[in-house]
Structure 1
Amino acid sequence: MARISFVLPVGGGGGGAHSVVQEVNAMRDLGIEARVLVNRRNAEGFRHTYDRFPWVETGGMEAFDGPKDLAHLAAQEDVLVATTNTSAHTIAEVARLGRAPAYRAAYYVQDYEPLFYAAGSAEHALAIASYAVLPECTYFAKTRWLTGMVEAAHGHATHLVVPSIDHGIYRPARRPAGALRQVTAMVRPATPRRAPRRTLRILERLASGEFGPVAVTAFGCTAEELREAGLTLPEGVTLMGRLRQLEVAELLRATDVFLDLSDYQGFGRTAAEAMACGAIVLAPGLGGATDFISDGVSGFLANTTDEAAVARAIRRMLSLSDAELRSVRLAALEAVSGFTPVRAAVSELRAFGLG
């Protein structure tokens, strides 16, 4: 029986961690001995975030204290998967501790992390180096934009795998007739590439009635986090705070229009999840969302760094007739319907040469 471990040094809650957990869950259902290895500092938060998966408490999640501890956990694995640039370096350190490891190294590229850091910084250098520290590594990513970035910047052939959405919670729901259209956006003050200031400016314009009567909701941070970042919640915008995955799904099922105004998206998970809930989405034209959004057909794309272009797209979306909205909504549901954890798991197993 194949044994696969994903090294995931985070407390969970983000899109990348969601991908790993639901794909590990699918692999386990397929009879694979798959598990998640979390650094001990984040282990308790991880258990709390994913307590709805029984295997998290029964051996499917293990905590490690450093490379030596990880080497012990990895001794019997067939594949050891990095999921972040830091975990790639940790796996490389494991290999340096002893003889050539029996496992195959893989790198799940969930975003192009060198873009997270200032050029010339130590963090940027480590992110760049993560693509050179794992010999004979299997690289895989879930969008053509990401596979293209790795191949162009580092010369590594990179497998395109299927993205996954938990359709058990991200699903459409009947909306009340005659209600105001609900516009929702995620605001992340601590993540500049998610454009929190731009997002709040656009939400302020929406709440003011500039685009017509709508109800406006934001989530992803607390009011205190906004204040600490020097940001102000616009009048008329409801802030839901930090939400767990089931709570995000509930909000998206009540959403008519979802806005992701990030500079770019390696994948665009929340937009895809919103589409699975029946929402009409606006996503960045730069990045992975172009794999599943055809502009004006299954959703909308814009140069999100240009607020005038964003405003034009929003006017276009909110001017759609009921028949046009239904057409886009159905196309959106169809576009992401194949993003299942089982299909994602199978595509990864094939990338590893195990299927």
Structure 2
Amino acid sequence: MTVPEGTMARFGSVRRRHIWSIVQRGPTEVGYAYFRARRRRRNLADDESLLSESDQLALSGAFDLTEDVLAANARLIERYQRAAPFQVDSIQWFLPYFRHAYFGGVHTLLRFAEHFARAHDVENRFHCYDVAPGAVAGMASRVAGAFPSLAAATFTSSACSLEELPPCDAAIATLWSSAYPVMHLRRARSKLYFVQDNEPQFYPAGAASALAEATYRFGLPGIVNTPGLADLYRSYDNPAVSFVPAVDLDRYHPPPAPRAPGEPLRVFFYARPGSPRNAFGLGIAALTKLKRTYRERVEIVCAGETWNPGQLGLHGQIRNLGVLSSLDEVAALYRSCDIGLVFMHTKHPSYQPLEFMASGMATVSNVNPATQWLMRDGENCLLTPPLPSATAERLGRLVEDAELRARIAAAGLVQVRRFGWEEQIERVWRAICRQDESFALPPLTAPLRSAAPRG
């Protein structure tokens, strides 16, 4: 490409080529480029920001606390930890925007709210801190559809200031971003943190992951989903009560009769390309190997997110059902499958292994030290290193060995039948009301006596 010299002679060759490429796009693009350059020279914000989304979060001003706020919260938390048992009559939940009330984390915290209202007459209020006023009605409708007893709950949007929220006995953060407004809230008798995953792992190392991890140092007593995740939260010197997620055994249960002999074995994969922690690419690579080996002996079905197998050259080899319309439809799909594959590369196992086990499927998942309380390799599941060939080999063992498949499925069913939601939520309720020592301050340690001889 020949770049005219003229007035551009003062620029280097790389810069001249860049300017010439803009000029060739026409006068409109030249004008845009001029004003962008002018704004940069004047240190004004540019629509084409070089900032990552992570850094934009840091610059938003929404995620910051002064030393005075931290100190005031530390005093409030200490008073709560020293308090005698008390009755919780009102809970202010800080709820982020969601599209689907049946996804695991949202559904779980709504289940807790519903139980508190039904069993203990708690007034639930939901402050949708990052939701515009026009979207709150839709969220309230989705909540009422999933839990009709919450239809009378109060919902407020981001337009409602924290000062406008009425006093409450407990304020509960439900996502790392909600912990910041909870810390700024002034009229709460207690403050808690409903932790359902190691959320700093949702982001690459940077501002967002640091801001998320900072919330684990706020000292908020944690209501933590699974014992493994609770161990992590306690490692930040936080008090915590954990619960084991239960399964609705009326909905998720094995099929009434075994599948007809001679039918292909059906392998299910929880496939969410938009959630890196679910290792979509790793699963597809393993399943491609499995299909290449077993051909018509296996049928591979996916769900969890909308995507097109044809884009990956897998049309006719893998079928994706996308996001199913109801939990009953999900349960029916699981009952129709023989083997379930799910990856979870954070500190929570996800709900899929539990639901697979309850539905009579043999489960395959990744090795994860934080999920050893649930997943026992060779007993109630098969665990695999994060390698496509190793994953395909575990799946292949279950395809080949009907006895192993049946034994793994039976042990999984025994595992999930050990726990029920009522007992797990009541454990948390006792901790919130200070009826046990889950959130108590540790006893003071007596000072060490000097080993020096007395005079």
Q: TM-score, normalised by structure 1?
A: 0.85
Query: Where does structure 1 lack aligned partners over 5 or more consecutive residues?
Result: 96-100
Quote the offset at 1:354 in angstroms: 4.7
Please give the alpha-carbon distance, in whole angstroms, between the structure 1 residues aligned to 2:402 and 2:349.
Answer: 29
Residue correspondence of structure 1 range 40-51 to structure 2 within 5 A: 40-41=131-132, 43=136, 44-45=138-139, 47-48=141-142, 51=145
1:88 to 179, 203, 226: 179
2:413 to 333, 339, 349: 333
Is 1:33 matched with 2:122?
yes
Q: What is the identity, as a one-letter code, of the residue corresponding to 1:83? A: T
Q: How many correspondences in the alignment?
A: 338
Residue correspondence of structure 1 range 145-156 to structure 2 within 5 A: 145-152=228-235, 154-156=236-238
Please give the alpha-carbon distance, in whole angstroms, between the structure 1 residues aligned to 2:384 and 2:282.
Answer: 14
Quote the offset at 1:62 in angstroms: 1.9
SS across alignment from 2:217 = coil
Instruction: Judge which range, 213-222 or 255-264, deviates more.
Output: 255-264
Whether the 8 Å contact between 1:182 and 1:254 is mirrored in structure 2 is yes
Is 1:243 matched with 2:324?
yes
Residue correspondence of structure 1 range 78-157 to structure 2 within 5 A: 78-95=169-186, 101-120=187-206, 122-133=207-218, 137-152=220-235, 154-157=236-239
Map of 1:98 onto structure 2: none
Whether the 8 Å contact between 1:22 and 1:166 is mirrored in structure 2 is no
Is 1:255 matched with 2:337?
yes
Q: What is the identity, as a one-letter code, of the residue corresponding to 2:302? A: A
Please give the alpha-carbon distance, in whole angstroms, between the structure 2 residues aligned to 1:45 and 1:232.
Answer: 37
Map of 1:278 onto structure 2: 360
2:269 to 149, 173, 185: 185
Please give the alpha-carbon distance, in whole angstroms, between the structure 1 residues aligned to 2:244 and 2:123.
Answer: 18
Please give the alpha-carbon distance, in whole angstroms, between the structure 1 residues aligned to 2:322 and 2:127.
Answer: 26
Quote the offset at 1:67 in angstroms: 6.5
Whether the 8 Å contact between 2:91 and 2:123 is mirrored in structure 1 is yes
1:21 to 110, 114, 127: 110
Quote the offset at 1:21 in angstroms: 1.8
Q: TM-score, normalised by structure 2?
A: 0.68
Map of 1:65 onto structure 2: 158
Whether the 8 Å contact between 1:268 and 1:288 is mirrored in structure 2 is no
Map of 2:438 onto structure 1: none
Quote the offset at 1:196 in angstroms: 1.2
Map of 1:300 onto structure 2: 382
Whether the 8 Å contact between 1:24 and 1:345 is mirrored in structure 2 is no
Map of 1:162 onto structure 2: 244
Please give the alpha-carbon distance, in whole angstroms, between the structure 2 residues aligned to 1:50 and 1:316.
Answer: 44
Cα deviation code 1:40-70 (max 9, x no counterpart) = 44631463366142123222x52332572x5
Whether the 8 Å contact between 2:255 and 2:360 is mirrored in structure 1 is yes
SS across alignment from 2:277 = helix
Quote the offset at 1:117 in angstroms: 1.0
Q: What is the identity, as a one-letter code, of the residue corresponding to 1:54? A: P
Is 1:8 matched with 2:123?
no
Whether the 8 Å contact between 1:182 and 1:256 is mirrored in structure 2 is yes
Please give the alpha-carbon distance, in whole angstroms, between the structure 1 residues aligned to 2:159 and 2:424.
Answer: 29
Check 1:319–1:50 CA distance in 2 against 1; reply closer, same or farther (3 A cut): farther
Whether the 8 Å contact between 1:139 and 1:158 is mirrored in structure 2 is yes
Report the aligned-residue RMSD.
2.6
Quote the offset at 1:127 in angstroms: 0.0
Check 1:89–1:150 CA distance in 2 against 1; reply closer, same or farther (3 A cut): same
State the percentage of identical aligned residues: 23
Please give the alpha-carbon distance, in whole angstroms, between the structure 1 residues aligned to 2:398 and 2:296.
Answer: 11
Quote the offset at 1:288 in angstroms: 4.2
Whether the 8 Å contact between 2:91 and 2:170 is mirrored in structure 1 is yes
SS across alignment from 1:160 = strand
Q: What is the identity, as a one-letter code, of the residue corresponding to 1:129? A: A
Map of 1:176 onto structure 2: 259
Check 1:263–1:30 CA distance in 2 against 1; reply closer, same or farther (3 A cut): same
